[in-house]
Amino acid sequence: MIIAIDGPSGAGKSTLGKMLAKELNLLYLDTGAMYRGVGLAVLDANVSFEDKARVAEIAENSDIKLIGEPENLQVFLDGKDVSARIRTNEVGQAASIVSAISEVRKILVEHQRNLGKNSPNGAVLDGRDIGSVVFPNADIKFFLTAKPEARARRRYEEDLEKQRATSYEQTFAEIKERDERDVSREDSPLMIAEDAVVIDTSELDLSEVFAQMMQVIQENSAKATSNLT
């Protein structure tokens, strides 16, 4: 089973993706973490984001691994644990910039497809283009969204908890900037796949969103079973 979860930053994709993967015993793939890994590698190499060929070369040669159970997934870049480093706003912006480069997307999309296909029970993937590009035939597609203010508030509270210095205003501005870039890029912009189930999480708590998603999955499985008989 392949479950796609797309949507803008801060809509709850990764928290809910992890919960679903755990509940359904599926692999959880945080595809944003891969773009963040490439963004960090470019920053560390001191390469200009304008130099697309070099950035693509870095994407090709970087060894990015997601290791561990969904609830404590660790991200490794060339053998080093970068789980904390990739979560800064600076790396978030870098990820958004490198993700607009087609060659980078080609490399990461192929990697994501292989990981999803080779997972014995299937996978939950969260990102921006999962239902539209990576797995257009996914069994279930969700598009999670929320008002920018709600998303910025969540990100800000997360940053406070992790003691990452920031302010609400700065987080809000960065979310808006990232949204703008993610929806306006030419290659695989953030969009709602035609057959996606859209959930606005602005006014819902996690357990409510989780319950809605599980209901969709159960209805879908029941339909698939009845189609077989």
Tell me which residues touch ligand DC (CB under 6 A).
Answer: 9, 31-32, 35-36, 92, 95-96, 99, 127-129, 178, 182
* Nearest to ligand DC of 180, 208 (CB atom): 180
In this structure, the number of other CB atoms found within 10 A of the CB of residue 127 comes to: 29
Nearest CA to 127 out of 113, 119, 117 is that of: 113
Nearest CA to 33 out of 61, 67, 79, 60 is that of: 67
Q: How far is the CB of 48 from ligand DC (least distance, A)?
A: 19
Q: How far is the CB of 219 from ligand DC (least distance, A)?
A: 26
Q: How far is the CB of 222 from ligand DC (least distance, A)?
A: 29
* Nearest to ligand DC of 37, 122 (CB atom): 37
Q: How far is the CB of 44 from ligand DC (least distance, A)?
A: 17
Q: To the nearest 10°, the Cα dihedral for 156, 78, 14, 31?
A: 120
What the block records as the tokens of 68 is 């561990």
* Nearest to ligand DC of 103, 221 (CB atom): 103
Nearest CA to 6 out of 27, 32, 26, 25 is that of: 32
* Nearest to ligand DC of 15, 217 (CB atom): 15
What the block records as the tokens of 212 is 């809605």
